[in-house]
A and B are shown apart, each in its own frame.
Chain A
């Protein structure tokens, strides 16, 4: 009997295929919205976590104070760091595994007829280790190159693609400003970061080379600190702060002129924002599910009126009220489940596109898919019940007389 009812519902739905489709459109959009929002949201949360892991969860960055960031012309800039400060942090704090000094600016890199404006970073081999960069080709810097400030560089994948196409860059010579330097290594691609920036878009020089040939000073703009495994990041940050205050002679009561940033905290905060956004968008999507449900109720009511005579016939030949109720209820549920399934498919498709576009992993969540499926069934039950009850309560005599 239930199977018959189900078949009957399928028949009734496909008899009016166009109308059925328009009816479930609300559910389709609602479910698709929820699925795509949540899937993309979870993907970006995973991306944040993955980024942090690539970078190392044990990374702490030391930056000059906020004033530097906002200090346009006329603004007071906090002083930069020096190589000595970097080495002091590495040597004097036991829980620091290593600290890489970083200086950077932007410049055009030229090879043959190709050129690209990119980040020029001066650092040493400690940075590759702390930021977990691997080589695709060639090698990192040699000690002699670092000490003498030789004109060599290691480039990111994006720069290679832009300047060399598919050719091997190692051994070639590129020009940065007035500096002609030999490419000795190519890094393995890390892809886009959570913030959307391309992590592979840079050229790395030995810091001495950078200071002499590009910057014209010996400033260090960032300390990229790797904390020893098992050591407390929080404790290490406190120790770095204390040492930096001491080194930069900041008196009691004076504010720090630098910042110590913990990547893990940063990532947690970022994924927190993602979660809130996902929640909000999902709430909007849920409202559209509700509207979709009302659409189904509306069409089911129309259907009951249209099929009054059919209901009369069924009652006359011995259908009980609850069998008629079941018939219309099953029809509403099947209708919204079809909507739900289309919505899930569409939502996943949108999520694949979105994930591709945002360069984040596509991570379908079976839980959310089941929930959307269950919810569309619930919509069918809730919004199908009223029309179905109306059908079941029809008087067979009146119904048979209905034109």
Chain B
């Protein structure tokens, strides 16, 4: 029996605007990601890697083509249905951390669980557990402003983790960090991938960071140019 790929994109396009001024951010993408893979999407700015990420993360809908998640077509879902998909299957990590200011690390991490409808005690347990995984349980009651960039990003990773997603989407997660912190973050991601079998799709333009992935996708002008396995991860 054929195993169903976790993420399967076929002929995905994403066109902004209409007619003469139309921009083809994605120009026919075919990509298959199996459960438990760690892939890095690379490319120069304007190559469409962020758009690809948004489509995979169900923040955006493709203009044409098919997107199957666990074998289910999700490219044509309504906004609310996509929100539910994000809530239950996906976790996001952004370049700018995107934590709620003036809210404790704990509150930031438990936020997705509020939308999942979990009770207070359950949420707190899960949030503490997620913070422990990223090594920040002792900072649970600090506000983001009291944390370093690397710590903030780890809180963001804990937030992405807390809902037990199948796929984590990381958009330039080390973009704002120095090398030492970047390595720490990548090690956290790699550990999650290896020990928890979490599928990770990461966008980056840093070669060093892409080394942590098992697979690298090179994008240029809205197309996939290369798709290769990396040495280090293999």
Contacts and interface: CB of A to CB of B under 8 A. Distances in A.
Interface in B60-106: 60, 79-80, 83-84, 86-88, 91-92, 94, 98-100, 102
A400 B94 contact: yes
Interface residues of A, number: 20
A317 B59 contact: no
Interface string A305-343: 000011011111111111100000000000000000000
A400 B111 CA distance: 16
B19 interface: no
Nearest to B103: A11
Nearest to A4: B114
A149 B159 CA distance: 100
Main secondary structure of the interface of A (DSSP, over half): helix
Nearest to B102: A15
B223 to A, nearest CB: 21
Task: Name which of A312, A316, A321 has the most chain B CB atoms within 10 A of its CB.
Answer: A316
Contacts of B115: 314, 317-320, 323
A319 B57 CA distance: 14
Interface in B93-147: 94, 98-100, 102, 111-112, 114-117
Interface in B9-54: 54
A313 B57 CA distance: 13
A278 to B, nearest CB: 45
Contacts of B84: 318, 320
A75 B108 CA distance: 88
B151 to A, nearest CB: 18
Contact of B111 (A314, A320, A322): A314
B100 A318 contact: no
Interface residues of B, number: 26
B126 to A, nearest CB: 14
B98 A313 contact: yes
Contacts of B79: 320-321
Contact of B100 (A1, A310, A321): A310
A397 interface: yes
Contact of A321 (B54, B83, B94, B116): B83
A393 to B, nearest CB: 9
Interface string A1-31: 1001000000000010000000000000000
A317 B112 contact: yes
Task: Name which of B54, B79, B80, B83 has the most chain A CB atoms within 10 A of its CB.
Answer: B83
Contacts of B91: 317
A309 B87 CA distance: 18
Interface string A360-402: 0000000000000000000000000000000000001100100
Contacts of B86: 316-318
Nearest to A323: B115
Contact of A400 (B88, B98, B117): B98
Nearest to A307: B100
A317 B130 CA distance: 15
A1 B118 CA distance: 9
Nearest to B107: A11
A396 B114 CA distance: 18
Contact of A318 (B60, B94, B116): B116
A320 B59 contact: no
Contacts of B111: 313-314, 317
B74 to A, nearest CB: 14
Contacts of A323: 115
A313 B100 CA distance: 8
Contacts of B83: 315, 318-321
A318 B80 contact: no
Contacts of A316: 57, 59, 86, 92, 98
Interface of A: 1, 4, 15, 309-310, 312-323, 396-397, 400
25 contacts: A1-B114, A1-B117, A15-B102, A309-B98, A313-B111, A315-B59, A316-B57, A316-B59, A316-B86, A317-B86, A317-B87, A317-B115, A318-B83, A318-B87, A318-B88, A318-B112, A318-B163, A319-B87, A319-B115, A320-B83, A320-B115, A321-B79, A321-B83, A397-B54, A397-B59
> What are the 6 tightest A-B residue pairs by CB atom distance, in nearest-first order?
A318-B87, A317-B112, A320-B83, A318-B86, A320-B80, A318-B115
Given A313-B99, A320-B84, A400-B98, 5 more contacts: A312-B98, A313-B98, A313-B111, A320-B83, A321-B80
